[in-house]
A = this chain, B = another copy of it.
Amino acid sequence: MPDVLENLKDLFKKGKSKMVLLVADGLGGIPHPDFDFKTELEAAHTPNLDRLAQRSVLGLMYPVNYGITPGSGPGHIGLFGYNPEELIIGRGVLEALGVGMALGPNDVAARANFATRDEQGLIIDRRAGRIPTEECVRLVNLLSENIGEIEGVQILLKPGKEHRFVMVLRGEGLGDRIKDTDPQKEGLAPYAPEALDEASQKTSRVIKQFLEKAQKLLSTEKKANAILLRGFSKPPVLEKFPERYGVRSLAIAIYPMYKGIARLFGFDTPELEGTFENEVEYLEKAWNDYDFFFVHYKDTDKAGEDGNFKRKVECIEYFDQFIPRILELKPDVLVITGDHSTPSLLGSHSWHPSPVLLFSPHAGCDEASRFTERECRKGYLGHFPARALMSLILANGLRLGKYGA
């Protein structure tokens, strides 16, 4: 993807402008044959988005690169103006954020599964028959109560859905270069949590001891009598968003994973719950205290992942109703886009570029009649990589001075 100016710092200008990045997760779609080849945005009734599109510039934005389907991590890394091909958020870290665990810079996180092993110790079900979540909670509590600390390292466990849970190691001198113990297929024994570098020797020892203790505690279980670990990782070291762009930054999200990602990047991130309406209310309350607002709406992605075209259309129409309230705040820059596309035709994240709308008195406007993928295709912003978006937002917020004499 085209490269972007990495260091904008020298160009920063003070200002009073308010900038809003409104992300409808998985917003983009592709034409669906069962809905006369319309996309969800095209099928939705969105008077407010359409009116706004008529006064905005549009474009299509590649989250990572051509043909690349991003996970939520890379999707937001790009939106925040970082390079998702260089900056990686480990699987364990993302899982920890997803269950709402706050991570310190030295913590090592891993994704954990309960699994089923036979008498020989071979894994016969990597998901322990997808035990109910309550079972998972019971077993995680059992482990937590009996395994507190190993070699002075805290073992923090938190249940997820069904057979999934998260393990975080908190202590000194822990590297994260540990081989997955999950063999990824049935019929094999779990691998040892081998240290892949010198700095991870202690981590390896602690995990070995944890697994031995856990094995004993789970020995009487029918299904969940083994544990598989993968994606050992520490939070990435990165320049925080507010310093990188010189703006007071607030993230408003309901889902733990997005709060967690935003915290990684140094956004102020309230412990908000509820609906998108609660997010908009919070935005209104906090309006005077920040310069940059990242607001995350999740339901569009969920409907797309479920392959539910009609539901995604409804989510878009619900989202549309709040546009006037956001405009009443008179943002100097308002961007509406997704972190990636989630076409209900595919029922998954996809590689398709995200439709993007940028509204600002300094942006100009297209002749678009609606906010749809096909209208964005013809937009003034053209096709561009997500990580160029922040420069465009700051420029339209008049927060960037002249480059060079």
Contact = CB atoms under 8 A, between A and B. Distances in A.
A125 to B, nearest CB: 23
A374 B366 contact: yes
A367 B363 contact: no
A374 B388 CA distance: 21
Given A64-B403, A382-B60, A400-B67, A366 B362 contact: no
A331 interface: no
Given A362-B345, A374-B367, A391-B68, A403 B74 contact: yes
Interface stretch (A16-24, A81-89, A139-147, A270-278): A81-89
Interface of A: 1-5, 11, 30-31, 33, 37, 39, 60, 64-74, 84-85, 88-91, 94-95, 231, 343, 345-346, 348-352, 361-367, 373-374, 377-385, 388, 390-396, 400-405
B3 A402 contact: no
Given A395-B351, A404-B84, A5 B64 contact: yes
Contacts of A231: 405
A72 B405 CA distance: 6
Contact of A404 (B88, B385, B395, B401): B88
- The copy count of this chain in the complex is 2
22 contacts: A1-B3, A2-B66, A4-B65, A5-B64, A5-B68, A37-B365, A65-B391, A67-B390, A67-B393, A67-B394, A67-B395, A69-B403, A70-B402, A74-B403, A74-B404, A89-B405, A351-B392, A351-B400, A366-B377, A374-B380, A377-B378, A377-B382
A379 B380 contact: no
Contacts of A404: 64, 70-71, 73-74, 84, 88-89
A30 B364 contact: yes
Contacts of A403: 64, 68-71, 74, 84
A366 B376 CA distance: 12
Contacts of A90: 405
A43 to B, nearest CB: 14
Given A66-B395, A351-B392, 11 more contacts: A3-B65, A31-B365, A33-B361, A67-B393, A90-B405, A349-B402, A351-B400, A366-B377, A367-B374, A374-B380, A377-B380
Contacts of A345: 362
Nearest to A380: B377
A393 B71 CA distance: 20
Top 10 nearest A-B pairs by Cβ distance?
A67-B391, A382-B383, A67-B395, A66-B388, A74-B404, A71-B404, A30-B364, A351-B395, A94-B405, A91-B405
Contact of A69 (B64, B365, B402): B402
A60 B72 CA distance: 30
Given A89-B404, A351-B400, A30 B66 contact: no
Contacts of A95: 405
Contact of A67 (B94, B350, B388): B388
B5 A85 contact: yes
Contact of A364 (B1, B2, B373, B384): B373
A377 B73 CA distance: 32
A395 B68 contact: yes
Nearest to A376: B380
A8 to B, nearest CB: 8
Contacts of A394: 67
Contacts of A11: 68
Contacts of A388: 65-67
A29 to B, nearest CB: 9
Contacts of A363: 30
A69 B391 contact: no
Nearest to A75: B404
A89 to B, nearest CB: 7
Interface centre among A70, A364, A385, A400 (most CB of B within 10 A): A364
